[in-house]
Structure 1
Amino acid sequence: MNPFIELGIRHDIVNAIAELGFENPTPIQQQAIPALLSGSNDFVGLAQTGTGKTAAFGLPLLELLDFEENHPQALILCPTRELCLQIANDLKNYAKNMPNVHVVAVYGGASISDQLRQIKRGVQIVVATPGRMLDIINRKAINFSEVQFVVLDEADEMLNMGFQEDIDNILSTTPEDKKTWLFSATMPSEVRRIAKKYMTDPFELTMGEKNTGNVNIEHEYYIVRARDKYAAFKRIVDFNPEIFGIVFCRTKIETQEIAEALIKDGYNADSLHGDLSQQQRDKVMKRYRERSLQLLIATDVAARGIDVNDVTHVINYSLPDEIENYTHRSGRTARAGKTGVSIAIINSKELGKIRQIERVIGKKFIKAEIPTGFDVCEKQLFAIVHKVHNVTVNEQQIEQYLPRIYDEFKELSKEEVIKRFASIEFNSFLEYYKNAPDLNAPADDRFARERDGERSGDKYPRSGGRSEYARLFINLGSVDDLNRGDLLNYICNTAKISGRIVGKIDVKGVYSFFEVPHEDSEKVMKGFGGAEFNGRPVRVEVAGEGTSERREGGNRDFKRRDGGSYGSGRREGGYGGGNREGGYNRDRRDGGNSGGGFRDFSGKRREDRSSGGRRRF
């Protein structure tokens, strides 16, 4: 007997999910489905992404709802468009053998009139993002008075994205006696509060320890100097020829720039971020699902809800601001019981963040070494060999060309043919990685700097006793509802600069500080000429000049506790700042002179490409 039938799922649904490849229930499905089928309790389920949560709540919903009635009976709220579409499509697939099941996906970025028409025709299950759902409610275009079940999926992320008020307003339109099912990958205090607010004595199910990571994921970190980060990233990718991965960045700007750099270097990559239209986003995701792309460069919000099979690697190009987000990132791989690798590329002062993440996920990171040029060439050579060995031969189609092929190779021995086929791609890697430098940075750089008399918090090297970065004051802060990521985006968009050149961002109450290279400070300050934020003028100046180093409410100088001045522009490391030293080098693929920040992406490609070029995946 099929294990899902034993859980209480009827035959027509089991037959549908069997065609989708469901053979045995995952642990969350095994325990959640019987509990939810009773329909008598609120429910809190804590489980990692990729463990089958959609089926865990979707299958019981299909059992409990009355599909003879064409009014909304279940509302599923989730944080992103991608996840909304995924859940709706999954439910339709589960119910394909059932009559009169109507599911509508309600999300921003798509035609609201189409969604309203679907609702008007009759629907039992509404899957929605909070913003668009509230818009439809405000139009009085839907009636939730007979909703029996509300599902809050990825509840932690919805709260992180600021949907608390929207959720409150939406749920206020639903009956008091409904059942609420909450699913989350982590259980911060905010999620705990929402459970208390909307639930009565819920049944709680925790798969593994709270907030821990998927046991099928290996976690690795590489320590590199900031100027070598992009080169090291590419070398890691080259060392994994069969990689099919997602690369996470902190900002939309960084996401776009890295994707553009990779494309110019010949990699099959594209970006996914919040500035894309729904049509652009769908196009990128279609290419990624079809594996036309091997690297998807994404922000945390954009990648939320992506459910793509067989992702081999998650690469944290920048560590997330919130430690909990690391769990969501790494959960994009090792889905449905498979294995995967989560990689963090860090500088030596971010080791403390790695230790924090280890405590949260309950698993140790492995310190890995950036492979040498020889290692990469060897790995690529045998990838070519395996590809040739395992290729499927279309005997019928190739038959007509074999005489000419044999004639072309008649003067070559078998050994010569093998060597030449292997060399087609191998030669370009040999040429490229010839004299490739060691990109590994020592883990104790910080202690070496302390030994040499520099502060342990310094991010950037001194040059003649002077910081390479200028510290700027801006009269915006947390009272303006800005975090470090928001402020970084605002600075870059207003001053028309790359996010890669911005150093540490220190957000205070009514003001903040940020760092840029000295040579860019005038450009940045001029870029803010006449700028306004929510109707008030924005002021940017060098910290230490005029009143910029004083608290805005008084005259006390803003000094470091150790007696030093903030005016030196030293970077203290940490999640918020990211790695802002140096960056891309458009003329060299590895190492070399890459310490000067982002180069002009319209610049020439590496000259030695003419001798074979950079291979595409």
Structure 2
Amino acid sequence: MNNPFIELGIRHDIVNAITELGFENPTPIQEQSIPVLLTGSNDFVGLAQTGTGKTAAFGLPLLELLDFEENYPQALVLCPTRELCLQITNDLKNYSKNLKNANVVAVYGGASISDQLRQIKRGVQIVVATPGRMLDILDRKAIDFSQVQYVVLDEADEMLNMGFQEDIDSILSNTPEDKKTWLFSATMPAEVRRISKKYMTDPYELTMGTKNTGNANIEHEYYIVRARDKYAAFKRIVDFNPEIFGIVFCRTKIETQEIAESLVKDGYNADALHGDLSQQQRDKVMKRYRERSLQLLIATDVAARGIDVNDVTHVINYSLPDEIENYTHRSGRTARAGKSGVSISIVNSKEIGKIRQIERVIGKKFIKGEIPTGFDVCEKQLFGLIHKVHNVEVNEQQIEQYLPRIMDEFADLSKEDVIKRFASIEFNSFLEYYKNAPDLNVPEDTRASRDGGEKFPRTGNRSDFTRLFINLGSVDGFSRGDILGYFCNQTGISGRTIGKIDVKGVYSFIEVANGDVDTAFNAFKSVENHGRQVRIEISADGDRVSNRGEGRGSFAGGSNYRSGRREGGGGFRGNSDRNNNGGGFRDFSGKRREDRGERRKKY
């Protein structure tokens, strides 16, 4: 019986390589797209969720169509992030390991451009690149794309969301008119439709499932809590899932760092991934996560794009995304390669409208969950521990020498006493922490659910805030989350103290505490955005804020059990002082850092 990939038209050398990687049967997107792409005669648009095998869907046909006897660039693959660039490059190298003289080079920011130029100079057929770094190399006249036959735009919607439209235009202007363009995307917003019309001629369009919908194997849940209880509720959800291996999404870099630091202080194996990390720091965090020495990865949308880690059990939306399409990308980090997963959103009552919007876009209903009680968490942790003990693999040879001493220690204890004492080692800390734990659930507010928009909550009375005008808006590529991150990074003002944000076309309004107004003005005295002076003013429609907002509260409304450490499986070890009150995060005032190799417009 022939291998299914051979029947699709893939040669034996490549099939042998992918068989060693565990490829047995093509995924639906591979089965449908490979025969079309192998003809080499069509522009192509492929719509499919992340984790469905898109890299092989375009990578295997590329390897069939290129001439590896020639050492000049014949194919260019553009993707949004460094992680995805490296992932695609490694995959293509693995697929082509039996092909003589096949050369694939990764071009991305945050690494030595000199090394990348040397690799290109030695000869290359396939260049995999992020737009910013690719444009840098083209500006140096260090690569010739005049004979490129195929251009692949992978995660096209993400590249446009990140503000790479101009870079893509510049790069493609250096490629031949008669090339074939293959576009792959998880969603099909209007911007992607426009780019397909601009760069393609009568493309063959393949849609796996319904456009813009989510993975059918993902269960979507939401929990309604008060803003001040969000962190405590988040930890309770994590504790209720002892085997969780998840990605937690936040809106801003500041929020990401704050939550990660509080989790570490509370004994969880967690770390942050955001745009202020160096490439070396990012690589270190991702290495730990892939090796599962991290239980929770706390990330921004931009930083997490392109992450491909197997067996992620949960995606948790600590903050809902500003753009609904981003929810599809977030939830797509779980349930990859046909597996199942859970996407959890922690919201306040005013965000129910946004949940309903997401439901309409992804075509699936959310399940309203209840924050587990303290008793529920303790019970789940106890039986999670018992399950782990029951299934642990015993190294008979190594443990045998210690058994006599162990038996002597337990000689005066019955079997029941041993079990109770062993279970109590970890269980007692949870009992103490969740003793008298309050109910964190909030009834769904049907009046609030009519409001489809999401507001930035704030603390204090209306007279405590000043409404500022800033000459940046949606035409500059800014959403509300971007404005918040940009403003806080420039000023050092904590995001927790910011009030309502309104983003218009060429300007925006942002509410700040009265005591922070001078700080904001001083921080923006000489700031430019893409060559244009950024200016802020007190809003002309009145010095003081006229709308009332909901209290933001503190993220770290919860715990401080520093003397204990949570290990990878979710169990807690050691004594602790865990409580549901107090705590808090320190503020971060890191200035904005440009990274041309990765992001041009968004933060």
Structure 2 length normalisation: TM-score?
Answer: 0.89
Distance 2:455 2:139 in 1: 51
Instruction: Identify the residue that residue 469 of structure 2 maps to in structure 1.
Output: 474
Cα offset, 1:413, TM superposition = 1.1
Matched residues in 1 for 2:476 and 2:361: separation? 30
Q: Tell me, yes or no, if the aligned pair for 1:494 and 1:528 is still in contact at 8 Å.
A: no
For residue 585 of structure 1, what is the aligned residue in structure 2?
Answer: 557
* Contact kept in structure 2, 1:473 and 1:548, CA below 8 Å: no
Distance in 1 of aligned mates of 2:455 and 2:67 = 63
Q: Using the TM superposition, give the Cα deviation of residue 217 of structure 1 relative to its aligned residue in structure 2, in angstroms.
A: 0.4
1:568: which partner in 2? 546
Q: Is the 8 A contact 1:467 1:569 kept in 2?
A: yes
Q: Determine whether 1:531 maps to 2:503.
A: no
Is contact 2:458–2:500 with CA below 8 Å preserved after alignment? no
Tell me how far 1:459 sits from its aligned partner.
7.8
1:172-571 to 2 correspondence within 5 Å?
172-444=173-445, 446=447, 466-467=461-462, 470-478=465-473, 482-509=478-505, 511-516=507-512, 520-529=513-522, 531-532=524-525, 533-534=527-528, 536=533, 538-541=535-538, 547-549=540-542, 567-571=545-549
Q: Tell me, what secondary structure is at the counterpart of 1:474?
A: strand
| Per-residue deviation, 1:591 | 7.9
1:472, CA displacement in angstroms?
Answer: 2.2
- Partner of 1:568, secondary structure, is coil
- Corresponding residue for 1:605? none
SS of residue in 2 equivalent to 1:425? helix
Question: What is the total number of aligned residue pairs between the two structures?
Answer: 565
User: Is this contact kept in 1: 2:213–2:328, CA < 8 A?
Assistant: yes
Q: Flag the 1:275–1:474 CA change in 2: closer, same or farther, 3 A.
A: same
| One-letter code aligned to 1:488 | L
Equivalent residue letter for 2:545? G
Q: Is the 8 A contact 1:467 1:568 kept in 2?
A: yes
SS in 2 for 1:22: coil
CA offset at residue 507 of structure 1? 2.4
Gap change, CA 1:586 and 1:356, over 3 Å in 2? closer
Q: Is the CA contact (8 Å cut-off) linking 2:322 and 2:479 kept in structure 1?
A: no
State the one-letter code of the partner of 1:486.
D
Q: What secondary structure is seen at the aligned counterpart in 1 of 2:133?
A: helix
> Which residue in the other structure is 2:40 paired with?
39
Aligned position for 2:24:
23
SS at match of 1:515: strand
Distance of 1:480 and 1:394 partners within structure 2 = 61
Structure 2 SS opposite 1:342: strand
How far apart, in 2, do the equivalents of 1:153 and 1:569 lie? 43
* Residue 568 of structure 1: how far off its partner (Å): 2.7
Q: Give the residue type in structure 2 aligned to 1:367.
A: K
Return closer, same or farther for 1:524/1:496 CA change in 2, 3 Å cut-off.
farther
Distance 1:233 1:23 in 2: 39
Give the Å deviation of 1:260: 0.6
2-structure distance, mates of 1:229, 1:151 = 41
- Please state how far the C-alpha of 1:177 moved relative to its aligned partner: 1.2
**Contact preservation (8 Å) 1:470, 1:568:** no
**Cα distance between partner residues in 1 of 2:198 and 2:351:** 37
Distance 2:476 2:166 in 1: 18
Is contact 1:151-1:180 (8 Å) kept?
Answer: yes
SS of the equivalent of 1:420 reads: helix
Map of 1:63 onto structure 2: 64
Residue 585 of structure 1 deviates from its aligned partner by 3.1
Cα 1:540–1:591 shift into 2, 3 Å: farther
Correspondence for 2:572: none
Q: Per the alignment, do residues 274 and 449 of structure 1 end up closer, same or farther by CA in structure 2, a change over 3 Å counting?
A: closer
Instruction: For residue 3 of structure 1, report the CA deviation from its aligned partner.
Output: 1.5
Q: CA distance change for structure 1 residues 121 and 378 in 2, over 3 Å: closer, same or farther?
A: same
Please list the CA deviations of residues 114-157 of structure 1 after superposition, one character each: whole Å capped at 9, or x if unmatched: 00000000000000001100110111111111111100000011
Partner Cα distance (1:213, 1:474) in 2: 37
Q: Indicate if the aligned counterparts of 2:350 and 2:448 stay in contact, CA closer than 8 A.
A: no
Separation in structure 2 between the aligned mates of residue 461 and residue 485 of structure 1, nearest angstrom:
15
For the residue of structure 1 that corresponds to 2:221, the secondary structure is: strand
Q: Is the 8 A contact 1:374 1:433 kept in 2?
A: yes
State the AA in 2 paired with 1:470: F
Structure 1: gaps spanning 5 or more residues: 451-455, 551-565, 574-578, 603-617
**One-letter code of the match for 2:67?**
D
Tell me, yes or no, if the aligned pair for 2:558 and 2:581 is still in contact at 8 Å.
no
C-alpha spacing 1:467/1:459, structure 2 compared with 1 (3 Å): farther
**Mapping of residues 93-172 of structure 1, within 5 Å:** 93-172=94-173
Deviations along 1:413-471, one digit per CA (max 9) or x if unpaired, are 11111111111111100000000000001111746999xxxxx99986998xx538524
Q: Which letter does structure 2 place at the counterpart of 1:525?
A: D
Rounded to whole Å, the distance in 1 between the matches of 2:533 and 2:541 is 18
C-alpha distance in 2, partners of 1:52/1:308? Answer: 13
**Comparing both chains, which one has the higher relative contact order based on Cα–Cα distances under 8 Å and sequence gaps of 6 or more?**
2
Q: Distance in 2 between matches of 1:85 and 1:458?
A: 37
Contact 2:471 2:534 in 1 (8 A): no
Taking the aligned partners of 2:221 and 2:558, their CA distance within structure 1 comes to 27
Task: Please tell me the residue identity of whatever aligns with 1:567.
Answer: V
Rounded to whole Å, the distance in 2 between the matches of 1:313 and 1:481 is 30
Partner AA of 1:489 in structure 2:
G
78 and 510 in structure 1: CA distance in 2 versus 1, 3 angstrom threshold: closer
Deviation string, structure 1 residues 187-210 (Cα, Å, up to 9, x no partner)? 011111111111111111000111
The answer to whether the 8 Å contact 1:459/1:570 transfers is no
Distance across 1 between alignment mates of 2:174 and 2:103: 21
Match of 2:573 in 1: none
Alpha-carbon offset, residue 527 of structure 1 = 4.4
Q: Helix, strand or coil: the match of 2:98? A: coil
SS at match of 2:294: coil
Q: Quick check: 117-126 or 396-405, which moved more? A: 396-405
Once the two structures are TM-superposed, the CA of residue 63 in structure 1 deviates from its matched residue by 0.9
Supply the AA of the counterpart residue of 2:557: N
CA distance in 2, matches of 1:600, 1:538: 28
How far apart in 2 are the matches of 1:458 and 1:107? 36
Q: Secondary structure at the match of 2:69?
A: coil
Distance in 2 (alpha carbons) for counterparts of 1:468 and 1:393 = 65
What's the CA shift string for 1:299-358, capped at 9, x where partnerless?
Answer: 111110100000000000101010000000000000000000001110111111111111
Whole-Å Cα distance in 2 between the matches of residues 537 and 22 of structure 1? Answer: 52
Report if aligned partners of 2:559, 2:581 keep a CA contact under 8 Å in 1.
no
1:522/1:150 CA distance change after superposition, 3 Å? same
Letter in 1 for 2:376: D
Q: CA deviation at 1:530?
A: 6.0
Distance in 1 between residues matched to 2:154 and 2:523, nearest whole Å? 43
Q: Which residue identity lines up with residue 548 of structure 2 in the other structure?
A: R
Letter in 2 for 1:324: E
Aligned mates of 1:378, 1:34 — CA distance in 2? 53
Distance across 1 between alignment mates of 2:454 and 2:104: 54
Sort the Cα spacing of 1:460 and 1:305 in 2 relative to 1 into closer, same or farther, 3 A.
Answer: closer
In structure 2, the gaps of 5 or more residues are 562-577, 589-603
Contact 2:48 2:184 in 1 (8 A): yes
- Report the CA distance shift for 1:459/1:158 in structure 2 as closer, same or farther (over 3 A): closer
Give the 3-state SS of the residue equivalent to 1:48 in structure 2. Answer: coil
Q: 1:366 to 1:167 in 2, by over 3 A?
A: same
Amino acid at match of 2:265: K
Q: Is contact 1:72-1:147 (8 Å) kept?
A: yes
Alignment-mate amino acid for residue 555 of structure 2:
G
- Alpha carbons 1:473, 1:511 under 8 Å: kept: no
